Chains A and B, each alone.
Chain A
Amino acid sequence: VCIWGTPMTATDQPSAADVPSEVADEVDEARLAEVMRVVPLGAGVLAGTAVALLVIGYLAIYLLVFLARGVVG
């Protein structure tokens, strides 16, 4: 590849492997499988808790405030 007349070669470019933080971690497949097994459960618990709080708040206002204020139409 040549951009603006300057040849770009592999030899004048630093390798990502020169920087330790850029080197990919070694993956422990068994550990990854264990994490992947509980990810859907964790996501469900987190989202479920958030939605449950929201629905409880909505129901509390609807039943205890809105309906208590009487008819309108």
Chain B
Amino acid sequence: MTEPTLILLSLAIPLLGALVIALTGANKNLRDSLMVVSALLVFLTVLSLLPSVSAGGRPAISLFEIMPGLAMAFSIEPLGMVFALVASGLWVITSVYGIGYMRGAHEKNQTRFFACFSIAIFAALGVAFAENMFTLFIFYEVLSLSTYPLVAHKGDENAKRGARIYLGLLLGTSIGLMLPAMLATWWLAGTLSFQPGGILQDNVSRGIGAVLLILYMFGIGKAALMPFHRWLPSAMVAPTPVSALLHAVAVVKAGVFTVLKVSIYLFGLDYLQSLWSTDLIMWVAAFTLLSASIIALQKTNLKARLAYSTVSQLSYIVLGAMLANQLAVVGGGLHIVMHAFGKITLFFCAGAIYVAAHKTEIRELDGLGRKMPITMFAFLLGALSVIGAPPLGGFWSKWNLMLGAVDAQQSIMIAVFLLSTLLNIAYLVPPVIRAFLLAPPKDDEYHTKPGIQEAPLFCLVPLCITALGAFSLFFFADPVRSLIESMFVSVR
């Protein structure tokens, strides 16, 4: 098959998948197996595009022009390839996990849930492959809209309120800030396509460029820069597979991916360095990074803590982009992968704990390591990876980011990274300590039953796979890094 066909196929399969899921909703087993098959197919299709991209190719296809020069078009560059691989690969695992979780937790409306999930993956891949800002924007909005029903899934007042904040902030920032930035870019530069070296430097004065940067960075609400981060904790009312794949991987990473794309391909790193607002955004990111960690410390609900941890980790990537040198940007790209594996493991574990033991608060985790040793060990691995400790994948991305900060001579930022690592330890390690070292509560129904009680295999196997992934990425980080670095090599 030709490459353009493969691109279209990788977008069409999840969309058709959603339709198939909706139609076969009556037969649960058929529906779920078809979902896993479609997830696998998508992953393989995306994977089959990898050789050409890593050889320096840029598979591309233009669908149609809405206005002269404004096309719905796709083109795959290394960063998009990495993001697409992560999103589609982890979707396979999450779909398996989702089956176990949704059945184990007896959730209603599973068909709607899985169908929307499929559409969300379609949108995430569209964001990854977008050739221009306009196409990216469309898929970005589809992603916001298709995940709304997932967040509001439970349908009670709490879920509705959370979903309202979720959609309001994401649509609000994108329409209120990103859209005008995009319109102004189009008006000033006459194009919206992502080009190496950027499209703005020759057309836009520094002053306007600086304002545009602010609009873009806050407009990309999915990157959760403060003060537009509230949607992410609100989204935690969703069932855990959603939090795992979407709010640790697809949606939030679509946000920081867009940040990187905009920085590299619209502004260009050199131009970015010359803007005054780059520093401003860098400081906002540093502030977000630290204060979100501190908030995470105070959260007693496991998922809420993980959510604020995500807010903090996303700012690593934004900060990396704002350091505006190759090392830091590659570090940001790596962090998309590393954090994805670490955080999805943590969420999977939180979900498994909920399914098996119906526990959601951190203080309830006491002694849980004896009942769910595998889950809690996986949790430890995920936590260490997010902290950035060797020998786990998270080490490399933080390493690169710090090298980038050194390269940019931002000594304060190095201190910020270090301080935040300490904070990461402070909020991620205690749950593990509680689980393994403290005695279980005396009169707890769950703990009085003898023996090991792990979550169903459908939940357990996926979380083991992702934990192993986080571990092995320490040893196999190099292929990923060289792939990301190849985006700075001029196109063949």
A binds B: no
Residues of A near any B CB (own CB < 8 A):
none
Residues of B near any A CB (own CB < 8 A):
none
